[in-house]
Amino acid sequence: MLETALKGSKKYWLLVLVLFGLHGIGATAFLYQLTKGLTVTGMNRDVSWGIYIAQFTFLVGVAASAVMVVLPYYLHNVKEYAKVTILGEFLAVACVSMCLMFILVDLGKPMRMLNVILHPTVNSVLFWDMVVLNGYLFLNIVIGWIVLSAERKEVPPPKWIKPVIYVSIPWAVSIHTVTAFLYAGLPGRHFWLTAIMAARFLGSAFASGPALLILLCLLVRKVSNFDPGKKAIQTLSKTVLYAMIISIFFVLLELFTVFYSQIPGHMHAFVYQFVGLHGHSGLVPWTWAFAILAVIATLMLLCPPIRENEKTLAIACVLVFISLWIEKGVTLVITGFIPNPLETITEYVPTIPELAITVGVWATGFLVLTILYKIAVSVKEEIAS
Amino acid sequence: MERSRRRFLKILGISTLGLGTISSVDLMAMVGTGEPTYNPTPEGLVGKRWALVVDVNKLDEETTQKAIEACHRVHNVPDYDGHEEEIKWIWTDKYEHVFPGQEHAYLAEEIEEKPFLVLCNHCANPPCCRVCPTKATWQREDGIVMMDQHRCIGCRYCMAGCPFGARSFNWRDAKNTYWKENEPPNPTYPVRGKGVVEKCNLCTERLAVGQIPACVEAVKDTKAIVFGDLEDPNSEVRKLLHEHFTIRRKPELGTNPNVYYIV
């Protein structure tokens, strides 16, 4: 099937070229970071994880959300998802690839990364995150590829793939749960030390992922002869809506516990996020942008005429994606370090090389996505004709 | 594997420092003068649970600087003072930062302004060791939380895990930066590489040759920092803990710090 990625329109090749170019810029910046050390980033002794780990955290969610089409289709036989399942699985592949790349660029000694396997440490959540992420990547590549090949040959997929698909469903939940456990189990980081973290992660993931999937479906329909189906998009939009409501509800639960109990250590980080603390307010605009966009997007999705019109639905999905990207891809990770364990504040702003590497990884992920989607769409067009 | 590795490090420590740096006469002198004893053995100082007692009443600017300098000199800790990429093993901070939540508006001025020495607590239940994905940081049998800079992958999970801010990361290459300009480095401490985490090792390399930690040694006259074995009922640390009211940093987190403060 790979050969289908080699035949494409001028626009396809232009997109590949642009993404490859951005990948090149990121790779160059990464080489610079390798020579100089992580000093080229904006991270510091107090804020020791920055935008790389934040992107990783956000993208694990997008990857996990493939389960929102896989589960209804394979367990409940929701027919309208027949065409989008492959798009969900391939989106997961691209996202997990980005996750792994973001971890890699964040390491101080990336050449030693195999130490995680050479010295397996079962008490480390990071070890388990490595296990579940690689497992999920493998599962989605295998499932996507086998099912699509069978479809191309117009035969039913082999029987053994069914149990593999069933395994991938709880596995999707596991990747985001384990990622939340990276944060939720640390003593002394009050902002992260909350039992609702994994639930909150899953809630926001099931909004941001399907929102992106809707946008990708609309894009695929526009640029190819393959139509994932209006019904699939409409059903997905309801998933986005409910997940969005649950996400906002979870954030409000956090705010209640923190501000009604009034325990200073628990309030500090939230105060820093929403109004600033001790004259530091770097994340205030971001936090409000998240809150406002999330509310607007939810209200839009709640309104049937807006949700049913694909043009306005697309706008709502963009808002969902941006707001949750801010929440998990910017504020959630960084705020965990502010204030630091000695209750002083050091702020963090990413540097140009850091942003170049970040854009480079996103571009590489979208390059993988473009190629995989090109294959999937070509196969679908081939069958239809 | 772990055992032989540790043993190798120990032998390496002894051989690089040279057994000559401490003679049996020194040890005899220590025992003879009523100085605290640390059970010196051919394998150096051996304990079951090493601890420090910091007597804050005996700390002033000068004493704390002496302790910090001694530590940072012997470990070639690069001097990026005040920089946000700084590396520090032992440093001072104010009471309200060292014991957050314990401060109040009517705190004695003396306490408020006092330089509190802070360093790795060598917790009995260390979260840093729990989170490390490669066992690059681990706990020795004598309680010391160790850091293997040659196994560390630089993921900095331990920095997120430590509730005391005790860990530093080598953001840049420190190869040519020593603890102070124009001061020759200590040739026996290994060169640090960029991209790895480091922290106080309670001078294991000194313990291995029968010496007490550098910070303790530096302020020995004042007895502002006392080192000893918590499991030895006759140790000086046990005596101090018995005689004085002591506090530890963030005890509510259950990490069980082994650094005690007499306030």
Coil/strand/helix, residue B260: strand
pLDDT class of B81 with cuts at 50, 70, 90: low
User: Across B56-60, B79-83, B246-250, which has the greatest mean pLDDT?
Assistant: B246-250
Report the distance separating Cα A278 and Cα A268, nearest Å.
10
Q: How confident is the model at residue B21 (pLDDT cuts 50, 70, 90)?
A: very low
Check whether B146 has a pLDDT greater than 90: yes
When pLDDT is cut at 50, 70 and 90, the band that residue B30 belongs to is very low
Residues contacting residue A132 through CB under 8 Å, at least 6 positions apart: A171, A174, A175, A178
| A342/B165 Cβ within 8 A | yes
pLDDT at B19: 42
Which pLDDT score is estimated for B17?
A: 47
- Tens of pLDDT, residue by residue over B222-240, are 999 999 999 999 999 999 9
Tokens 């780990």 -> residue: A53
CA distance A202 to A180: 9
* C-alpha span between A168 and A82 (Å, rounded): 17
Mean pLDDT across the stretch B159-182?
Answer: 86
Contact status, residue A99 vs residue A132, Cβ threshold 8 Å: no
In chain A, the residue whose alpha carbon lies closest to the alpha carbon of B198 is A45
For the cut 70, the answer to whether the pLDDT of residue B40 exceeds it is no
Q: Domain spans of chain B?
A: 2-262
Q: Which residue of B100, B154, B162 is in closest CB contact with A107?
A: B154
Distance from CA of A119 to the nearest CA of B (A): 5
DSSP code per residue over B65-133: HHHHHHHHHHTT----TT-TT---SEEEE-HHHHSTTS--TT--HHHHH--EEEE----SS-HHHHH-S
- Give the model's confidence band at B183: pLDDT under 50 very low, under 70 low, under 90 confident, else very high: confident
Torsion on CA atoms B47, B51, B54, B55, rounded to nearest 10: -70
Q: Per CATH, the architecture of A2-213+225-384 is what?
A: Up-down Bundle (1.20)
B169: its two tokens: 């990361």
Tell me the whole-structure pTM to 2 decimals: 0.91
**Residue A191: partners with Cβ closer than 8 Å, 6 or more residues away:** A266, A269, A270, A335, A336
The answer, yes or no, to whether residue B122 has pLDDT greater than 70, is yes
> Hey, what amino acid is at B212?
I
Q: Please give the Cα distance from A32 to A354 (Å, whole number).
A: 10
Mean pLDDT lowest among A97-101, A184-188, B78-82, B189-193: B78-82
> CA A243, CA A248: separation in Å to the nearest integer?
9
Residue B127, pLDDT > 70, answer yes
Q: What is the DSSP string of A329-358?
A: IIIHHHHTTSS-TTS--------HHHHHHH
Give me the pLDDT at residue A87, please.
95
Q: Look at residue B213 in the predicted model and tell me its pLDDT.
A: 96
| Single-letter residue type at A262 | Q
Identify all chain B residues contacting A265, using CB atoms and an 8 Å cutoff: 100-101
Domain boundaries, chain A: 2-213+225-384
CA–CA dist B178, B78 (Å, integer): 4
Give the pLDDT confidence of B88-112 residue by residue, as tens digits: 999 999 999 999 988 888 988 888 8
Instruction: Identify the band that residue B191 occupies on the pLDDT scale cut at 50, 70 and 90.
Output: confident
Residue B4 pLDDT greater than 70, yes or no: no
ipTM of the complex: 0.93
Cα(B202)–Cα(B192) distance, rounded to whole angstroms? 17
Does the B2-262 domain belong in CATH 3.30.70.20?
yes
Enumerate residues 6+ apart whose C-beta is below 8 A from A350.
A41, A42, A50, A51, A358
For chain A, which ranges sit under pLDDT 50? none
Min Cα–Cα distance to chain A from B154, Å? 4
Instruction: Check if B97 contacts A (Cβ < 8 Å).
Output: yes
Whether A44 sits inside 8 A of B171 (CB atoms) is yes
Q: What percent of chain B has pLDDT over 70?
A: 82
B176 confidence band (pLDDT: 50, 70, 90): low
SS3 of A189, please? Answer: coil
Strands B50-55 and B259-262: parallel
**Backbone conformation region of residue A279, classed left if phi is above 0, alpha if psi is from -120 to 50, else beta:** left
Q: Is 60 exceeded by the pLDDT of residue B248?
A: yes
